[in-house]
Amino acid sequence: MPAQAYERRFPTCPLIPMFVDSDTVNEFRSEDGAVHVIERRCKLDIDAPRLLKKIAGVDYVYFIQKNSLNSRERTLHIEAHNETFANRVIIKEHCCYTVHPENEDWTCFEQSASLDIKSFFGFESTVEKIAMKQYTSNIKKGKEIIEYYLHQLEEEGITFVPRWAPPSLVPSAERSESCRKRAASLAVVVPEAAQKEGLSSEPLSNPSGASEPAGGAPDDKLDADYIKRYLGDLTPLQESCLIRLRQWLQETHKGKIPKDEHILRFLRARDFNIDKAREIMCQSLTWRKQHQVDYILDTWNPPQVLQDYYAGGWHHHDKDGRPLYVLRLGQMDTKGLVRALGEEALLRYVLSINEEGLRRCEENTKVFGRPISSWTCLVDLEGLNMRHLWRPGVKALLRIIEVVEANYPETLGRLLILRAPRVFPVLWTLVSPFIDDNTRRKFLIYAGNDYQGPGGLLDYIDKEVIPDFLGGECMCEVPEGGLVPKSLYRTAEELENEDLRLCTETIYQSASVFKGAPHEILVQIVDASSVITWDFDVCKGDIVFNIYHSKRSPQPPKKDTLGAHSITSPGGNNVQLIDRLWQLGRDYSMVESPLICKEGESVQGSHVTRWPGFYILQWRFHSMPACAATNLPRVDDVLASLQVSSHKCKVMYYTEVIGSEDFRGSMTSLESSHSGFSQLSAATTSSSQSHSSSMVSR
């Protein structure tokens, strides 16, 4: 259906004013009718300044467009390039309609484009802006246009196009009957991410009432009651994205999968662009694990100065059932808090607030019987002055915003800023560039007493819970703040040491792995049948994990001194233990099969030792063949744009030796004690079998 609808745009389309006309210059159709290729020369009236058109000497520009419909493979490829000014500007565009691999009633759409401006009479920047404007406009109109022609087909009684089959195999009567066999309305939805980026590979359509494919797995579709109760309204496209991302996480992070609500936050933050959501989620999960964020509420006690002078706290909920957090920023001595505590302690406190917010969202979901995944923040700016613009304080604020934006997306449902003084625009100018566009749209700013009028607080918060300091009747237990006594200030050296301690306080270690320079650690075993356990994340690149045994101790660890690789940089060390003169099979032996680990994967495993001696855990660089392909998208594709060097990998790891009597036959003991996802995870799944070889979960 999309292919038939698309063809109706020619020779001209009234919905695209700039599309003046088109002529067919070449056409090909295969003998069996499966392949139809048509090439057109399209005439466009670009919306450009008259002066620029006059300088360029043209009124119209021409593009060559080639449409290739393959009914056998059920694909439509559209390629276009500019003919006008081809020696100065190169524009290429590619679109593809395909059938979704899991549900043939869905249509997938993918679009990409490139622009290369070599020279254009000194107006290169202007041409680039015009091209981007036109391209963005066309993307946004794509949905409207395809829907228009689909409705037109439906009005003509064409609601279904049968699958292609060789003419000799399908009698004409049967083909005619199949056209009337069923009718399904097709609503094509172009993801917002595609509108913004011009690139998407997500399903675009799902006929109303379409059934699941026969024999589909139970996880192919979420239960409608579950969605309504815990997730909220989801389109078929959004549901598909959630299932696919969750499935990918199950394959790479088995045993510690975040709950659907949390996965959904990352998808919403990237407009359900599954690749972008997966990228930021991988980074966030690694960050949570490294800094043990899951345990911050149970293991970290805020310093007394924070409890006394941090003017913020939780206060009931808003009219939508969201937890309400009140922050009296104008009454808070940000300079004094930074001088007394340092940046890291403030950041950790804000993280604990966000973790508490996640808990409260879960509780309110149960209380109100509907999904609540975000909270409302009320910020009172009365008392805000130039003292709050102290540079180190603003620097700490910007870092906090950066960390929260990256790791707690879509948790802020609404931000009410009250009693904004004249100095507020200065602060807003400093911090707004660091706030995501989606988040900024949730800000409501009131000057003076405007919050008391129409459209003010009463529209969002029940009268009974409006804090007393805002004219309400509810006593608010949020600390009043005030100046932090200078006697509590600490020296710059003390603050630096404290920041360093908090920043590096983790059970995990980081290591760099280079081509030809693996990272190795030594584990000495005295009692046979001890269990070596490990938990590591591949932060960058692909690696091979090996375990070796030797009866004699290697030389004392020496850091590699390859200065070109900066191996001793703070980003991670690199240690080699196996002597270059050692021979495998003579000086040491391999006790586990090599395990190839992809970038972004989280790996846990254990090895029950058979002999005492020295065991060497090794992470070695793995080079992926350029032609290699996998059935499912892997994270090395997702994060390829982040790779700085093709010969450097990075791992974050933790190892522990457990006595056989204390080991319960699985990684459960390690996961319950150290894995960094307990608060975000659903039920942990682990094998209950014990082996003398590795048990690895990703």
pLDDT at 441: 86
Q: Looking at 102-116, 478-492, 583-597, 652-666, which range is the least confident one?
A: 652-666
Give percent of the chain above pLDDT 70: 76
Q: Residue 101: pLDDT above 80? A: no
Question: 605 with 692: CB under 8 angstroms?
Answer: no
Q: Helical H runs in 8-123? A: 50-56
- Give CATH 3.30.530 domain extents, the chain: 1-156
What pLDDT, in 10s, does the model give residues 464-505? 999 999 988 899 888 888 899 988 888 877 777 766 666 655
How many secondary structure helices (H) and strands (E) does the chain include?
19, 22
Beta bridge partners of 668: none
CATH 3.30.530 fits 1-156, yes or no: yes
The CATH superfamily of 294-487 is: CRAL-TRIO lipid binding domain (3.40.525.10)
The better pLDDT of the pair 556, 474 is held by 474
43 closest CA partner among 84, 92, 96: 84
* CB-side neighbour CA atoms (13 Å) of 140: 7
pLDDT at 194: 37
The CATH 2.60.120.680 domain(s) of the chain lie at: 508-554+574-624+645-665
Q: Find out whether the peptide bond into 17 is cis, omega within 30 degrees of 0.
A: no
Question: What pLDDT shows up at residue 589?
Answer: 92
Assessment of whether the complete model's pTM goes beyond 0.85 = no
**pLDDT score for 52:** 65
Q: Which of 203-212, 250-259, 530-539 has the highest mean pLDDT?
A: 530-539
- End-to-end Cα, the chain, rounded Å: 41
Report which of residues 373 and 661 the model is more confident about.
373
Question: What are the distances in angstroms from CA 117 to CA 49, 198, 301?
Answer: 18, 19, 57
Q: Please give the helix or strand (H or E) that residue 274 lies within, else none.
A: helix 274-290
Nearest C-alpha neighbor of 194 from the set 105, 86, 270: 270
508-554+574-624+645-665 adopts what CATH topology? Jelly Rolls (2.60.120)
DSSP codes of every residue in 2-19: HHHHHHTT-S--TT-TTE
Cα(548)–Cα(531) distance, integer angstroms: 14
- Coil, helix or strand at residue 491: coil
Residue 305 contacts residue 340 (beta carbons within 8 Å) = yes
Mean pLDDT along residues 109-136: 76
Q: HEC profile for 536-599? A: EEEEECCEEEEEEEECCCCCCCEECCCHHHCCCCCCCECEECCCCCCCECCCEEECCCCEEECC
Instruction: Report the candidate in 411, 469, 476 with the shortest Cα–Cα distance to residue 442.
Output: 411
Distance of CA 461 to the CA centre of its chain: 32
Rounded to whole angstroms, the Cα distance separating 51 from 79 reads: 30
Contact 295, 470 (CB under 8 A): no
For the chain, residues classed under CATH 1.10.8.20 are 224-291
Q: pLDDT digit string (tens) for 657-671? A: 887 665 543 333 333
Express each pLDDT in 572-586 by its tens digit: 588 888 888 898 888
Q: Rounded CA gap, 526 and 657, in Å?
A: 11
Per-residue pLDDT tens over the stretch 3-21: 677 777 777 887 787 888 8
CATH class entry, domain 224-291: mainly alpha
Range with top average pLDDT, 244-248, 389-393, 436-440, 507-511: 244-248
Q: Whole-angstrom Cα distance, residue 147 to residue 204?
A: 12
Query: What residues have CB less than 8 Å from 591, skipping those under 6 apart?
Result: 547, 548, 549, 607, 610, 615
DSSP-assigned beta bridge partners for residue 327: 312, 379
Whole-number pLDDT of residue 211: 30
